[in-house]
Amino acid sequence: MNAPLPEMDEPKMMMAPMIDMVFLLLIFFMCASHISLTQSIPLEIPTASKAAVPKDRPERWVVNLQKDGALFSGSQAIALPDLADAVHARLQEQPNLKLYLRADAETRHADVKKVMNALAEAGVDDFIFGVFQPGADALQQTATREAAP
Q: Where are the domains of the chain?
A: 42-146
Q: What is the pLDDT of residue 142?
A: 44
Residue 54: closest CA among 130, 115, 148, 139: 130
Q: Does the predicted TM-score (pTM) go above 0.75?
A: no
d(CA 115, CA 84): 10
* Per-residue model confidence as pLDDT tens digits over 1-21: 678 877 888 878 888 889 999
In three-state secondary structure terms, 43 is coil
CATH of domain 42-146: 3.30.420.270
DSSP tag of 71: E
Bigger pLDDT: 116 vs 7: 116
If you average pLDDT over every residue of the chain, what do you get?
Answer: 79
124, 97 Cβ separation under 8 angstroms:
yes
Is the model more confident about 65 or about 148?
65
Q: What is the pLDDT of residue 37?
A: 52
